[in-house]
């Protein structure tokens, strides 16, 4: 069994053995997210990471994360995204974007097809799938828009990314081993309402 299927079957096993809550946020007695369901636990555990260890992430793990990304739901299965992965620390030798990625060892660039109206949603779902998969594998992540501006002003970097004609760089995600454990930022449950 290759690494990918070992990891995927471990994740699947964890999900199958768990109890799926039917409503509300599962909490333990301390009010912390419950560990009863691996997916739910992963969602609550993920936080934006802004300090990474220099330790690289193996391509084997990155391939699993990227494959989870492209398995996201997407409009009409058009897969209206293109993804470029940079794990070579020398790639951005002029240090144009690394700071925007908080020096994450892996920089992922996601471009969308602007001719498809739901393309940005497709790309967002792809990114979230990757970030949750990474979290489940012990790898931290940060979704960042700020490098997009820098890259748009650097035709050389844009050319190196090599997106197909018609695709536009939309959003970026950095991956690496977290060197911090940020607290969850508050969310407003009032934004969600059941409508009778
Ligand atoms: C579309 C998008 C763009 C973002 N851009 C940046 C960014 O440029 N810089 C940054 O530090 N964080 C950025 N973030 C991360 C958000 O600030 C973060 O997700 C939010 O504060 C909630 O925190 P959490 O991810 O820890 O739950 C971005 C997130 C999203 C979804």
Domain holding 148: CATH number?
3.40.109.10
Query: Does 123 map to a domain?
Result: yes
Q: What is the mean pLDDT of residues 73-87?
A: 98
Cβ < 6 Å from ligand 1: which residues?
47-48, 50, 143-146, 171, 182, 185
Q: What is the mean pLDDT of residues 17-24?
A: 34
Q: What local confidence, expressed as pLDDT, does residue 31 receive?
A: 54
Query: Does 68 map to a domain?
Result: yes
Q: Is 87 exposed, middle or buried (0-12, 13-18, 19+ CB in 10 A)?
A: middle
CA 187/CA 196 separation, integer angstroms: 23
Walk across the sheet containing 81-86 and list its strands. Answer: 81-86, 106-112, 168-176, 140-144
Instruction: Give, for ligand 1, the residue of 49, 143, 150, 151 to mutate: max count of ligand atoms closer than 8 Å to Cβ.
Output: 143
Question: What domain range includes position 95?
Answer: 37-179
The token duo for 9 is 């079957």
Q: Ligand 1: distance of its center to the CA of 13 in Å?
A: 31
Question: Would the pLDDT of 15 be above 70?
Answer: no
Vertex 83, ends 132 and 165: CA angle to 5°? 155
Query: Does 161 map to a domain?
Result: yes
For the stretch 124-160, pLDDT in tens is: 999 999 999 999 999 999 999 999 999 989 999 999 9
The token duo for 121 is 């949603």
More confident residue, 56 or 94: 56
Query: Does 84 map to a domain?
Result: yes
Domain count, the chain: 1
The token duo for 158 is 């844009």
Query: Does 186 map to a domain?
Result: no
Query: Does 31 map to a domain?
Result: no
């Amino acid at each position: 069994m290759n690494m990918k299927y070992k990891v995927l079957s471990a994740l699947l096993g964890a999900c199958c053995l768990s109890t799926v809550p039917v409503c509300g946020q599962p909490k333990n007695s301390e009010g912390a997210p419950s560990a009863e369901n691996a997916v739910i636990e992963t969602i609550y555990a993920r936080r934006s990471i802004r300090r990474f260890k220099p330790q690289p992430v193996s391509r084997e793990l990155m391939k699993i994360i990227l494959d989870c990304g492209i398995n996201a739901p997407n409009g009409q299965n058009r897969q209206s995204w293109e993804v470029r992965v940079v794990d070579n620390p020398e790639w951005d030798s002029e240090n144009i974007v690394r700071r925007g990625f908080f020096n994450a060892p892996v920089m992922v660039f996601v471009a969308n097809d602007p001719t498809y109206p739901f393309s940005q949603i497709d790309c967002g779902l792809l990114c979230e799938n990757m970030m949750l998969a990474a979290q489940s594998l012990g790898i931290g992540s940060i979704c960042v828009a700020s490098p997009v501006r820098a890259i748009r002003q650097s035709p050389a970097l844009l050319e190196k990314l090599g997106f197909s004609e018609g695709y536009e760089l939309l959003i970026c995600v950095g991956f690496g081993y977290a060197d911090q454990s940020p607290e969850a930022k508050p969310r407003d449950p009032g934004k969600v309402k059941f409508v009778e």
